[in-house]
Amino acid sequence: MSSELFVKLKEVEGLYHRPDWYRPLAYGENIYMDTTYLLPGVELVMGGPKYLEGTERLERVIYTMTGTIEVTHAGQTVVVNPHTAFIVPLEPTSPFAVKNNGPEVASYIVCYSPPPHPELNIQRREEMIARYRQNNRPVKSAEEMEQLIANPEKI
């Protein structure tokens, strides 16, 4: 089997996506997976204009790993603890706001189907990292990501 089929999270670079950091883990023809990190006090809104217009149809499953996040959707807020999964539906609805009100870095796995941004035609993690570097967007080494997670106040 190809070694590209197996990924160790702690060996993957981190990409800054404003306002979150993430590690792209797996690309497939019909699926994509990353681990997202929200620093304390950071809020991320999922479901931008393409989603609301119905031109970007991504079904997402999110599985929380560490920290506690608040998810707000359609006027309701739910506190999500580690080892909980939730779905961002395929059909366009109001955006989902995910916020880390806790003192530690919150992390969660996101699986998308189909992969996001099909217009970019990205097939491998290395292509996404190269794209970030070409566009002068922040990339952290795997070691730097481990330091960020352990000591977010030092960035």
Q: Architecture of domain 3-154 in CATH?
A: Sandwich (2.60)
pTM for the whole structure = 0.87
| CA 59 – CA 110 distance, rounded (Å) | 10
Structural domain boundaries in the chain? 3-154
Distances (CA, A) of 10 to 59, 66, 94: 26, 15, 34
Local confidence pLDDT in tens for the 155 residues of the chain: 455 678 899 999 999 998 999 999 998 888 899 999 999 999 998 766 665 565 666 788 899 999 999 998 888 899 999 999 988 776 656 778 899 999 999 999 999 888 877 778 888 888 999 999 999 999 999 999 999 999 887 66
